[in-house]
Amino acid sequence: MTVTRGLIIADPWIGHILDGRKDWEMRSQTTSVRGWFGLIRKGSGTVVGLARLVDCGRALDQAEMIANFDHHRIPVDMIRRGEVAKWVVPWKLADVIVLARPVPYEHKAGAVTWVTLSPTVSQDLAPSIAHRAASQDTPPSPERSVDHSKPLSTAVDPATNSVHRTPAKTGQASPFPEGRHRLLGKSVLSGGNIRNNHMKMSSLMPAFPRDVIGGSNKAQAAPRHLEIDWGGPETTRTDIDGTKSIFRARGWVRRFFAMSEARAGDLVIFTETAPYRISVRLERNTDSVRE
């Protein structure tokens, strides 16, 4: 199987595809393309993975976009504000392969969506697809089903330059190699955040498991909680208010701001250290001024 094209995808969306959290890439128009293609991280100049484009759905309305969060990982508040009003056509993916070593490609002028890959790059990508095809006892399903509640275990195959991710077995403590953590993102604090004891996490919402995101009040709380290590004497457990993109429990946020002497312009760094466990720390912005 020859891969002749690659699709440019920006962060954080390409990260969610590679992590197995997202299997719809939302676009502004339909496509007739089907089959294998390269996953290109925008601005990197490299192919970082492979996937099959198995179907293209119709444009979705707002309610359908919200109902299908598990597929595209776009935060509900972004949808309701109309920030992704153009990006409502699902390109449906399957059989994602993560490359252990990104493959550089030549980005020709004018390429903004699809990129034509050179024969050399296609040759470098071929072993990963051949290995995937040989390892499948049955034909791949038209559209994969992702269980977002289960962590993924990883293994690198040096012969094919690919990373194989499979659901972790019950009882496995962490999907990360020992001593390795995953940066989820950063949030810039405003004066309003500090006065009202919350952190705005709109851009980070796709990184959190769907089952920790609840509704606007305690009666609509999520079925699972995150454990937050914020540097205090003990950790805090809370879900996320998906309508506001903030942690529902906020007493610890007030203590965290006081302890770290947070001020407008500072950054809050979110790191996943284990399944459903998040480390939160403050990074000082030396250019910020107190309001």
Quickly list DSSP for 195-236: HHT----GGGGGGS-GGGEE-SSGGG--SS-EEEE-SSSS-E
Same domain, 99 and 230: no
E strands, 137-206, in order? 152-157, 162-167, 182-188
Within-domain flag for 39: yes
* pTM exceeding the 0.85 threshold for the entire prediction: no
What's residue 151's pLDDT?
A: 40
Same domain, 159 and 245: no
What's residue 135's pLDDT?
A: 63
Within-domain flag for 27: yes
What's residue 253's pLDDT?
A: 95
Neighbours of 210 (CB within 10 A): 17
The reply to whether omega before 12 is within 30° of 0 (cis) is: yes
What's residue 88's pLDDT?
A: 96
Q: Which of 139, 167, 195 is the last residue of a domain?
A: 167
Same domain, 114 and 233: no
Same domain, 144 and 47: yes
Within-domain flag for 173: no
Q: What range defines the domain where residue 135 resides?
A: 5-167
Number of domains in the chain: 2
Within-domain flag for 290: no
In this structure, what CATH number is given to the domain that contains residue 225? Answer: 2.40.330.10
Same domain, 97 and 236: no
Q: Which residues of the chain have pLDDT under 70?
A: 111, 133-180, 286-291
What's residue 263's pLDDT?
A: 92
In this structure, what CATH number is given to the domain that contains residue 25? Answer: 2.30.130.30
